[in-house]
């Protein structure tokens, strides 16, 4: 992710910036994006980021290019660069609250690590 800035404006967040490696964004079935961006530059490092759901059809969301991974396009869904220009998203789309993006990411990673450990011990 490069410079993705959701800014609170009343009952909405206005999102500007770019996100790289947006998994599944090229898939025609994709309807929602989960975006993590900085919402509190002055807070503790682990509480600066938040996650928010963005409808892929929201005005200002632009799927730029398909990104290759190790030379492969990962069809049919692929990974994309996505641009956000004054994208207006309801504040209710925020996941768990401001500053909890890192926490959400850690929970997801913990499950992946646990699965890998158990998979490795299956023999």
Q: What is the tens place of the pLDDT at every residue in 9-60? A: 789 999 999 988 888 898 899 999 999 998 888 999 889 999 999 999 999 9
Q: Are the CB atoms for 30 and 57 separated by under 8 Å? A: no
- The domain that contains 73 carries what CATH number? 2.40.110.10
Rounded Cα gap, residues 21 and 116, in angstroms: 23
Rounded Cα gap, residues 46 and 43, in angstroms: 8
Exposure class string for 99-112: b at 16+ Cβ within 10 A, else e: bbbbbbeeeeeeee
**Could you tell me the pTM of the whole model?**
0.79
Domain span at 115: 2-120
Rounded Cα gap, residues 39 and 10, in angstroms: 14
Q: Are the CB atoms for 85 and 16 separated by under 8 Å? A: yes
Domain count, the chain: 1
């Amino acid at each position: 992710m490069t410079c993705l800035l959701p800014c609170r404006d009343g009952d909405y967040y206005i999102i500007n910036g770019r996100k790289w490696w947006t998994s599944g964004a090229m898939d025609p079935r994709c309807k929602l994006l989960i975006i993590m961006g900085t919402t509190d530059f002055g807070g503790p490092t682990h509480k600066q980021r938040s996650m928010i759901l963005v409808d892929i059809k929201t005005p200002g969301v632009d799927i730029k290019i398909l990104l290759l991974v190790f030379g492969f396009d990962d069809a049919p869904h692929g990974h994309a660069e996505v641009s956000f220009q004054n994208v207006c998203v309801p504040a209710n789309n925020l996941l768990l609250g401001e500053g909890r993006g890192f926490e959400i990411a850690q929970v997801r990673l913990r499950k992946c690590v646990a699965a890998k450990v158990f998979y490795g011990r299956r023999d």
